[in-house]
Structure 1
Amino acid sequence: MQNRITTLFNIKYPIIQAGMIWNSGWRLASAVSNAGGLGLLGAGSMYPEVLREHIQKCKKATDKPFGVNVPMLYPNLEEIIEIIIEEGVSIVFTSAGNPKTYTSQLKEAGITVVHVVSSVKFALKAQEAGVDAVVAEGFEAGGHNGREETTTFTLIPMVKEQISVPLIAAGGIANGRGMLAAMVLGADGVQVGSRFVASEESSSHIAFKKMVVAAKEGDTLLTLKELAPVRMLKNKFFEDVMKLYQSNPSPEELKELLGRARAKRGMFEGDLEEGELEIGQIAGLIHDIKPAAQIVDEMVTEFEAARSTVKDLF
């Protein structure tokens, strides 16, 4: 399954595991990379020295390429970038910020740089900044999202029309059929988050994984746009947010309710009532917890089967 993405990252399949906070430690990243995809460490939930430890453990667990996702809305960015360069990481995905900030520095260190966007406008800015590829993430995705509310199947062809660098689709993709559909629309590969949350190697709490598996259509919503838009499962904290919105709150009031470490409390520590439980709409299609390698294998098998089915239609 060779194309621009597999060639760029030197991987077997054009499947990237998203670098999700509190979910994407070295066990998950190495498992996905060993299975032929590209595993990413989620630096957003790691102090700098914790990230260094995860990079070193990932190196020992796989001889395949892996990368680090760096959300630029978190602190200690300069130290994180220095550690990534010092440890010889070859691939970095940046998100939630200006791609010009670190792209040149990373590329000068010989690192392949990818930036995550939610609109055509920002895809063009990322390309102008010199990135090697772009992830276009639709409104369906879990975690922090774009404000435009553009769905993946609308976003991908619009971005494809405007950029020349390789394009990775994200948001609402959890199986081989979704992968094929995204690639028919113009993507060169896919980034998968929610499906890998419900993997055995994910570092998230088992209670959160089980809640993801139990989720149905309509159990997630994008909210807190005044701060950083986030899609999450509906729970007590979510209901508290909705109740506060009835009083037309200020951003300061929303920040006070959100507090600190709310995502860690939910996804990593397993507080299903008061935690922030970030997951995508596709959770309604996730029915079990299984090894990451099995997820990759099943995606590839289903992709090939779906491709044959489509051929037979015409």
Structure 2
Amino acid sequence: MGWIARAQLAAAVSNAGGMGIIETSSGELDTIRGEIRKMRELTDRPFGVNIALTYVRDPAIVQFVVDEGIRFVTTSAGDPTRYCAELKAAGLTVFHVVPTLAGALKAVAAGVDGLIVEGSEGGGFKNQRDVASMVLLPLVCSKVDVPVIAAGGFCDGATMAAAFAMGAEGIQMGTRMLSSVESPVHDNWKNAIVDARETDTVFLNRGGNGPALRALRTARTSRIEEQIPESIKNEFAGVQQLYFGGDMEAAVPLTGQVCGRIDSVKTVRRIIEETIRDFGQAVDGLAARYGSVKA
């Protein structure tokens, strides 16, 4: 969530009991340094940094996060072996985002401490061979012995309970946090998420150059769906007009299918507290309804 996952949003997540994550995919490391320091003014809770490997290619990023006193890093969108050994040698905990079983096994072999297993329902950049969380999550959990965080399609207590039933130990929310009160994006995008149906995202660039991606359906993304562009990255030239100016046609609004289940803009604290409450109710409800099932 380049330009979005900064101190304002990440601190709200950490203060509510989650793990706030600061982005580096914008490439604005001087600004990111300031955001990390701002985080420490806004929260005394743990937080981490994401290194999007496709966009952050300078090995100096390792020393950057070490110098800033970061203890937890997620890596994504690239080869997990690139920085893992150096990050681990510096004493950091590293989780890698994976879209396939093969990617998960490669990351575990590289020495990561845990995985973020992301199904194709999620918004953002995707593997062109998409696999839904309902298939990918239990598959990966059955093959690895590291902690797994579920991503892609998770937004509340019921989906968190489902993730735990499939082997996860936590969930990651993208679109749900994107549409929170503390999210810095323009209200036009938040309102578009609230108004969206479950069918109002598109899976783009399948078979094109570069990664696939899931985004909200707009005139721009409908065009890209019909005609694959020469370079999908060119479609992001106006990203800041979209994010902060509210022009929904200026770039590609990366959004997950879970937009169809989001019906209001809430504070981060309310989202997290309701998720934990409803998770407990879902688990207790299943136990009360079905008890101990014996063959």
Equivalences for residues 117-266 of structure 1 within 5 A: 117-225=98-206, 226=208, 227-245=210-228, 253-255=229-231, 258-266=234-242
Residue aligning to 1:48: 29
Equivalences for residues 79-98 of structure 1 within 5 A: 79-98=60-79
Which residue identity does 1:258 align to in structure 2? N
Give the secondary structure class of the aligned counterpart of 1:217. coil
Gaps of 5+ in 1: 1-19, 246-252
Shift of 1:170: 0.6
- The correspondence for 1:269, drawn from 242, 245, 261, is 245
Which residue identity does 1:305 align to in structure 2? Q
Whether 1:30 aligns to 2:11 is yes
Residue aligning to 1:61: 42
Q: What is the distance in 2 between the residues matched to 1:95 and 1:182?
A: 20
Whether 1:311 aligns to 2:292 is no
Residue aligning to 1:250: none
Give the secondary structure class of the aligned counterpart of 1:44. coil
Q: What is the distance in 1 between the residues matched to 2:140 and 2:5?
A: 27
Q: TM-score if structure 1 supplies the norm length?
A: 0.88
User: For the Cα contact (< 8 Å) 2:235–2:251, is it kept in 1?
Assistant: no
User: For the Cα contact (< 8 Å) 2:9–2:183, is it kept in 1?
Assistant: yes
Gaps of 5+ in 2: 291-295
User: For the Cα contact (< 8 Å) 1:92–1:111, is it kept in 2?
Assistant: yes
Give the secondary structure class of the aligned counterpart of 2:33. helix
Deviations 1:128-152 (A, max 9, x none): 0000000110010000112221110
Q: Show structure 1 runs of 4+ deviating over 6 A.
A: none
Q: What is the distance in 2 between the residues matched to 1:272 and 1:214?
A: 14
Larger RCO, structure (CA 8 Å, separation 6 or more): 1
Q: Structure 1 residues 163 and 257, CA, compared in 2 at 3 Å: closer, same or farther?
A: closer
Q: What is the distance in 1 between the residues matched to 2:262 and 2:233?
A: 30
User: For the Cα contact (< 8 Å) 1:176–1:300, is it kept in 2?
Assistant: yes
User: For the Cα contact (< 8 Å) 1:33–1:66, is it kept in 2?
Assistant: yes
- Percent identical across equivalent pairs? 35
Residue aligning to 1:300: 276
Q: What is the distance in 2 between the residues matched to 1:81 and 1:291?
A: 33
Deviations 1:234-289 (A, max 9, x none): 112112213434xxxxxxx5217834534333233321123210010000111111
